Structure 1
Amino acid sequence: MKNRIAIYGAYGHTGKFIVAELYRQGYKNLLLSGRDLEKLLVLNNVFPDLEVKAADIHEPASLDNAFSGAAIIINCAGPYLDTAAPIVKSALRTGSHYIDLAAEQKAVLDIFEEFSEQAEDKNILVIPAAAFYGGLADLLAAVITDDWDYTDEIDVYIGLDSWHPTKGTRLTGDRNHYKRLTFKDNRLQELEQTLSKEWDFKIPIGRKEVVSLPLSEIITISRHLNVNTINTYLSRNSLDDLRNDSTPEPKPVDEKNRSSQRFCVEVVARKDDIERKIAAQGQDIYAVTAPLVVEAVNRILSRKSKRKGVATLAEAFTAGDFLKSLQEDDIIISL
């Protein structure tokens, strides 16, 4: 039981990718959980040897009952503005490590501010935003600034050839009405104005107009890197897709159930007159979250984490080694 892993929101779009990847890598002691028992039972038809327990974020006892004995809880159920705090509290009560996929800045910031001391006292690791948004850019930024004592500026460029959002993404967007934060002059502050420019992501994304849109990587990177300014830019075409109510949900096109959507994340770091770049390319922003989360699980269970308490992916693990462990079919890293 010591390696039991609970996946909350297991029947969600990204949750199913994570369950499948854990199962593929040999994890069979999995607990499928979430609010909707019927959806859990449908997923259980695909994985009949896995246990199912329904739990509700408004019922702490049901969460504790579901997560009892779990080494790690993976929270795949957004909006994280609603689900993160109740499940982190349950993790603290059950002594379980916690991972989530939050793109919402406030949800991530709240976890750091509310639970850091408690998690350290309980000797558990809490990792928010261990996903395409938040976690990936954090790892990339840590790699190219590893030998710098400070960094003047980090720019994150996210290019998608298209964005077919899930229902969960749309729900999160409707729920997240907080002002976006950027990082400037060594502090978090509200984004004053939306800037736009062109950025060449090369093949397969190409040259795109990008607009400033800070997401959870602003929080993750600024928590542990000594940097003056952090900017995030998202390709405008993907933002237009997201804002268009008629844009369809992602459709599977391969054996991993990934959609055809391609992505590129480029991180540019500057110190004095030195500039460094690193890029990550792959297929399907939802699917690529699974190998990131499962590698975090692997490292927690093999005691390769560098610390306890609330931490980002790059704080908890050695970023370069973490990225090298990922399969090229999932993500391609290039300096």
Structure 2
Amino acid sequence: MNSTSKCIAVYGAAGHTGQFVVHEVQRRGLPVVAVGRSAARLDETIPAAIPRRIAELDDPVSLEEAFAECAVVINCAGPFLDTAAPVARAALRAGCHYIDVTAEQASAQASFAELDALARAAGRVVIPAAGFYGGLADLLASALASAGHIDEITVAVALDRWWPTVGTRKTGERNKVPRVVVTNARLAPLVLSAEVPNWVFSAPLGHQAMVELPFSEVITLAHHLKVGEIRSLLNRSALDDIRDASTPPPTAADDNGRSAQRFELVMRLVQQDGRRAWAGHLCRDGAHRDRSRPAFAGALVPAQRCTGTGPSGRPD
């Protein structure tokens, strides 16, 4: 890879999330390459001025060639149980950093377990679960927590509607891996309980009945924080939407293609000293870094990259 390259490859560029990522990279003035499995789909969805490359998941050579001369690969193509490993491995062989937006716990776990040594050897960074599920809660917890053991983290998410994309539907069909939570400071299988508290969000979401439904944030939080208990809650009406086969996909409500769905993410964090911290959703940009020479290499969580702490929690 050219050490001065700042090109960003977006894999799954023709998909719902991929199109947004391509647009955002372009808006920030960075060169972008749209990568996908179908030339026809890329032609339908990606502006003609943006370079595109075709690569199949089962063709490692085509993947590596698609990522050549790029600094970062952003994988937006689910199910990530199928795409994360081949795309990430090809990215590392091409000398690129790798990011994905998986909400799938098993995919994030596998990335940490199987890609860390490869990323360290390549001097590159692998960051799974850098999207809404996974990344946002991870950033919130890292912003709220002080040093030391955390007794409890509860993540509560409410959506006014959950209009599933085609990719979301496919992931739901593919991902049958049992979900996990953190209890007694260890990952453990989720045991459904009738005692799930209702939650009061800000208007217009208001009072919501909740269900326990952990996503990849449990994996990212447990990967770098010492936490006794982690629970993730989702409002029941959103789950009803996703389980209803007749719920339509999202439709554009503005010129950028964004839908009218609204959400709120709230975190409750309790530490040993009894301090309780609450926060709504948070978005924070990390400091600029030279993409060719990262401060840390290996499989990291979003907060470690944005706040400048490496695998051992050292300040950058």
- Please give the secondary structure, in 2, of the residue aligned with 1:317: helix
In the alignment, is residue 38 of structure 1 matched against residue 40 of structure 2? yes
Partner of 2:17: 14
The AA in structure 2 aligned to 1:156 is V
- Counterparts of 1:136-155 in structure 2 under 5 Å? 136-145=136-145, 147-155=146-154
Contact 1:163 1:261 in 2 (8 A): yes
Residues 13 and 19 of structure 2 are in contact (CA less than 8 Å); yes or no, is this contact kept in structure 1? yes
Q: Distance in 2 between matches of 1:254 and 1:108?
A: 32
TM, length-normalised to structure 2: 0.92
Deviation at 1:4, TM superposition (A): 1.1
1:313 is aligned with what amino acid? P
- Which residue does the alignment assign to 1:162? 161
1:275 maps onto 2:263 in alignment: no
**Cα separation, 2, equivalents of 1:299 and 1:207:** 40
Q: Give the conservation status (yes or no) of the 8 Å contact 1:182–1:190.
A: yes
Cα 1:314–1:66 shift into 2, 3 Å: same
> What code does the residue aligned with 2:209 have?
E
Deviation at 1:305, TM superposition (A): 5.8
Asked if the contact 1:306/1:315 (under 8 Å) is kept, the reply is: no
Offset, 1:255: 2.6
Task: State the one-letter code of the partner of 2:305.
Answer: A
Q: 1:185 to 1:89 in 2, by over 3 A?
A: same
Give the structure 2 partner of residue 80 of structure 1. 80
Deviation, structure 1 residue 54: 0.6
Provide Cα deviations, 1:315-335, integer angstroms capped at 9, x if missing partner. Answer: 11218xxxxxxxxxxxxxxxx
Look up the match of 1:331: none
| 8 A contact 1:299–1:305 mirrored in 2 | no
RMSD: 1.9
Residues 246-285 of structure 1 aligned to structure 2 (within 5 Å): 246-272=246-272, 273-280=274-281
Report the CA distance between 1:302 and its aligned residue. 6.0
- The superposition leaves residues 126-158 of structure 1 with CA deviations (integer Å, 9 ceiling, x where unpaired) of 00000000000000011100x231110000001
Q: Per the alignment, in what secondary structure is the counterpart of residue 208 of structure 2?
A: strand
Which amino acid letter does the alignment assign opposite residue 314 of structure 1? A
Aligned to 1:96: 96
Q: 1:123 to 1:305 in 2, by over 3 A?
A: closer
What one-letter code is carried by the residue in structure 1 that aligns with 2:22? Answer: V
The correspondence of residues 183-202 of structure 1 with structure 2, limited to 5 A, is 183-195=182-194, 196-202=196-202
The 1-side partners of 2:260 and 2:251 are apart by 8
Question: Within 2, Cα distance between the matches of 1:300 and 1:82?
Answer: 30
The alpha-carbon deviation at position 303 of structure 1 amounts to 7.6
Q: Would you say the 8 A contact 2:210–2:234 is kept in 1?
A: yes
Residue 88 of structure 1 deviates from its aligned partner by 1.1
Find out whether 1:308 has 2:297 as its counterpart.
Answer: yes
User: Over residues 26-83 of structure 1, what are the superposed CA-to-partner deviations in whole Å (9 max), with x where a residue is unaligned?
Assistant: 12x2111111110112234x2x222111100100011011011110001010000000
Deviation at 1:194, TM superposition (A): 4.0
Give the distance between the partners of 2:96 and 2:82, measured in 1 at CA.
19
Match of 1:173? Answer: 172
| Letter of the 1:89 counterpart | R
Residue type at the aligned position of 2:191: E
Cα separation, partners in 2 of 1:163 and 1:121, compared to 1, 3 Å: same
Query: For the Cα contact (< 8 Å) 1:159–1:264, is it kept in 2?
Result: yes
Partner Cα distance (1:256, 1:235) in 2: 27
1:309–1:68 CA distance, 2 compared to 1 (3 A): same
Where does structure 1 lack aligned partners over 5 or more consecutive residues? Answer: 282-290, 320-335
2:306 is the alignment partner of 1:317: yes
Distance in 1 separating the partners of 2:105 and 2:288: 25
Per-residue deviation, residues 159-180 of structure 1 (Å, max 9, x unmatched)? 1111001010010010000000
- Is the aligned partner of 1:25 residue 2:28? yes
Q: Is the 8 A contact 2:123 2:294 kept in 1?
A: no
What TM-score does the superposition give when structure 1 sets the normalisation length?
0.87
- The aligned residue for residue 287 of structure 1 is none
Q: Find the aligned partners of 2:291 and 2:187 in 1 and give their Cα distance.
A: 35
1:199-238 Cα offsets, whole Å, 9 max, x none, are 0011121110111101000000011111111000000000
- In 1, the alpha carbon distance for the partners of 2:70 and 2:293 equals 18
